[in-house]
Structure 1
Amino acid sequence: MGTVLDSHFLALTAFVTVVYQFIFFVITALFKIDQVTDFAGSTNFVILALLTLILKSTWHFRQVVLTLLVVVWGLRLGTFLLMRILQWGEDRRFDEIREKLAKLIVFWTFQAVWVWTVSLPLTVVNASDGGGGSLKPADVIGWTMWVFGFLIEAAADQQKLFKNAPENRGKWCDAGLWKYSRHPNYFGEMLLWWGIFVAASPVLEGAEYLVVFGPVFLTLLLLFVSGIPLLEASADKKHGHLGAYRFYKKTTSPLILLPRGVYGNLPGWCKTLFLFELPFYSRNLHEEDAIYKKSLQESIN
């Protein structure tokens, strides 16, 4: 695959992404609505997948399969998130930025970067000549990873809807896959996008392996920025005073699916080093404990 062709496809997908996200940015800025935000992100993946496949038109089996996988994921997630936000009415993530234009610009810019970057493995595959020859073991491994990731994410999303029932309002999710992970939907999403990269690897040569930045970026984003940290902080604020919640958090893996009996008995260093139980996920609880201990000491003295 030539470098000229690479740059053309990369530039085109970047341009389409910026224009698409800008349209929805204008809509949200003018009408102060949240309903289209996640839909705009998910459907952008679908547009880039179909656009690159059709423009190249080599129709290699690998290209068609990977495009189909991304389209299925994007349509499923986009539809789910759109229906959910229409039911909820607003997205609390935007409470502090809805009226602030500068922060909205930062958010939509970041979303455009997310879409374009994570799409890189598929973009390179669809831009290639013939998809890299015959199918390889990496194709099957990658597709299998995607299937498991997709099923985990979809099941976790549906199970979390239990919170819509009046009797479950205000509770944290502790059903189905959420018994084995505090964020199984994010685990599924990471797994399926790493699967896309693995299935794309037979096509990659030399510097093209830099497209690994796509799943790396997604993983870092969910672990450190807009995924787990925000949800952990929100849950701690709502439920941190409850002993049952603290027990759930102590015995339930933050990401990778594991039985509670296994995870709960692991040493803290093992959880942090291998299972992403990062200290700042419980920063609010630690601060509350410190305040409580200080006040208790002062009352004794």
Structure 2
Amino acid sequence: MMNKGRHALIAFLVPLPSIIFYLSFINYSIYTCHPLLLVNLLFFFNVNLLFWLIAQIQSSHWMIDPYWTVIPVMLVHYYSSHPLAHYNCWRSRIVILLTWVWSIRLFHNYFRRENWQWGARQDWRFTDMSQQYGKHWWWASFFSIYLPHQLLLIGLSLPFYVIHSVNQPLSMWDLLALLLCLSGILLAYFADTQLYNFVNNKNKKKVLESGLWYYSRHPNYLGEQLWWWGLVVFAWNLGHGWTFIGALANTMCLGYVTKLVEQRMLKQQNRAEAYRMYQSTTSVWIPCFKFNSSASNLRLKNKNA
């Protein structure tokens, strides 16, 4: 219980340096600098360095996961309140509201999965990486976890910057972006809820292949991608389609994570055979009906022969 309370206290205190600095910053226009420059500096010192130092003390990199759900909310408010901001207030309100809904959904799913505990464990991928790097992990973790997260989160949040730096009237493209974002949030919510119920069902089957998971092996990842690509449509409509680089990097990252997750499933002897069958009949991301099971079974048998 003491560890849980300590982890919760740390999680609430770590963003304070950035918050205090920024509140003082916006009161002095003489110090105004480009929003992207300032946010990268704050991220580097307050997340990369501080989170990494705390991880060395605690021997756990747990904090980056819950903060993945919080940092985009902080970023969208940062861009909207920056002294150089110039934007359509309705578009800004829509995107800020969507970001809060996305964050609450992901925050809820994270703590539900962790049995409502702070810092109970770090991501299993970090544990695997620590074993690979061995004694070098203490310094390699900075370059393997924290710097990539800065590039990814700042990149994904580039549409927030564009939305709050261009003032144009709303259009039908904004409606399309809104629908994509909402679809992504809802898809990820229902997929994660079905996965949570499956994991906590003691009489469960070896593989989840019902509900959304009947049509796709990773519907939760698809939902997350729709959310970020929906934000890109907001920015593209404002003449800044280059912001797709963050969403593209995230899609590539999720593709790699998908590979790791499936490899992990295939290492579980009690599930390997059932999961191979699932792979042979079900789409990876894009929902579709089952493939021809007899043909898939034949291909699987030939591969194992």
Q: TM-score range by the shorter chain?
A: 0.7 to 0.9
Match among 158, 161, 176 for residue 193 of structure 2: 158
Closer, same or farther: CA 47–241 of 1 in aligned 2, 3 Å: closer
Percentage identity across paired residues of the two chains: 25
- How many residue pairs align between the two structures? 258
Closer, same or farther: CA 197–242 of 1 in aligned 2, 3 Å: closer
Once residues 33 and 190 of structure 1 are traced to their aligned partners in structure 2, the CA distance between those partners, rounded to angstroms, is: 28
Secondary structure of 1:127's counterpart equals coil
Once residues 62 and 247 of structure 1 are traced to their aligned partners in structure 2, the CA distance between those partners, rounded to angstroms, is: 46
8 A contact 1:146–1:193 mirrored in 2 = yes
Closer, same or farther: CA 114–240 of 1 in aligned 2, 3 Å: farther
Match among 74, 86, 97 for residue 47 of structure 1: 74
Q: CA deviation at 1:94?
A: 2.1
Secondary structure of 1:33's counterpart equals coil
8 A contact 1:45–1:119 mirrored in 2 = yes
TM-score (norm 1): 0.76
Closer, same or farther: CA 51–218 of 1 in aligned 2, 3 Å: same
Whether 1:80 and 2:109 are equivalent positions in the alignment is yes
Note the 1:32-111 alignment, pairs <5 A. 32-55=59-82, 56=85, 58=87, 60-86=89-115, 89-90=120-121, 91-98=123-130, 100-105=137-142, 106-111=144-149
Which one is further off, 103-112 or 242-251?
A: 242-251
Whether 1:17 and 2:46 are equivalent positions in the alignment is no
8 A contact 2:86–2:165 mirrored in 1 = no
Q: CA deviation at 1:57?
A: 6.8
Q: CA deviation at 1:72?
A: 1.9
Secondary structure of 1:96's counterpart equals helix
Please give the root-mean-square deviation of Cα atoms over the aligned residues, in Å: 2.9
Once residues 175 and 26 of structure 1 are traced to their aligned partners in structure 2, the CA distance between those partners, rounded to angstroms, is: 43
Residue in 2 aligned with 1:216? 248
Q: CA deviation at 1:199?
A: 2.0
Q: CA deviation at 1:188?
A: 0.6
Once residues 226 and 76 of structure 2 are traced to their aligned partners in structure 1, the CA distance between those partners, rounded to angstroms, is: 19
Residue in 2 aligned with 1:123? 161
In structure 1, the gaps of 5 or more residues are: 1-6, 269-284, 294-301
Q: CA deviation at 1:289?
A: 7.8
Deviation string 1:186-230 (CA, Å, 9 cap, x unpaired) is 1011111111111222222xxx3321112111111111x3x2111
Whether 1:31 and 2:58 are equivalent positions in the alignment is yes
Q: CA deviation at 1:60?
A: 1.6
Once residues 292 and 53 of structure 2 are traced to their aligned partners in structure 1, the CA distance between those partners, rounded to angstroms, is: 47
